[in-house]
């Protein structure tokens, strides 16, 4: 089984997104990605690109994206589930 820890996900996000001023240690599993991390619609595109480049995962549409990008935990679970396949 491939594990993807919350810290792994936080590290990838911090390396690829502009998260200046956000303390990574303060982010919890249920931290909302957009209101919590101050991300906007362009960051949503960056998230999709990050998933493709770092994990070879393709988000097909925004409906799927909306569910995946709710919180750090929903994103982590999605990556883990896709990588198992």
Partner 1 sequence: MSQNWTGKSLGSSFFQNLLGFFIKYGGKYIAYFILYFVVIFYTLLPSVRRKASFYLKRRFPESSALELFFHTYKLNLTFGKILTDRAILGIRGESEVVSSEADKQLCRDLLAKGKGLIILTAHCGCWQAAMSSFDFLPEEKYVLYHKSREDVDKHAHELSGKKSPVKFIDPASFGGGLIETLAVLQKKAILCAMADRTFGDKVNSVEVDFLCGKIDAPFGIYRIAAAQETPIAVIFFPYKGSGKIDSVIADIFYVEDKGGRLVNNYLKEVEKFAKSLEKFTREYPYQFFNYYNMWK
Q: Pick between residue 42 and residue 81 the one whose CB is nearest to partner 1.
A: 42
Among 5, 66, 67, 81, contact with partner 1 (rule: CB under 8 A):
66
Number of shown-chain residues binding partner 1 (CB under 8 A): 20
Residue 20: CB minimum distance to partner 1, A: 12
Any idea which residue has 């998260």 for tokens?
A: 19
CA 64/CA 5 separation, integer angstroms? 21
Among 22, 20, 13, 83, CA closest to 44? 13
Q: How far apart are the first and last CA of the chain?
A: 10
Interacting residues toward partner 1 by CB under 8 A:
16, 18, 40-46, 48-49, 52-53, 58-62, 65-66
């Amino acid at each position: 089984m491939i594990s993807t820890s919350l810290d792994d996900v936080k590290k990838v996000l911090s390396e690829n997104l502009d998260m200046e001023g956000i303390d990574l240690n303060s982010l919890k599993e249920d931290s909302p990605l957009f209101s919590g991390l101050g991300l906007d619609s362009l960051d949503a595109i960056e998230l999709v690109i990050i998933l493709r480049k770092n994990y070879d995962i393709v988000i097909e549409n925004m409906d799927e994206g909306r569910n995946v990008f709710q919180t750090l935990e929903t994103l982590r679970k999605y990556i883990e589930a896709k990588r198992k396949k």
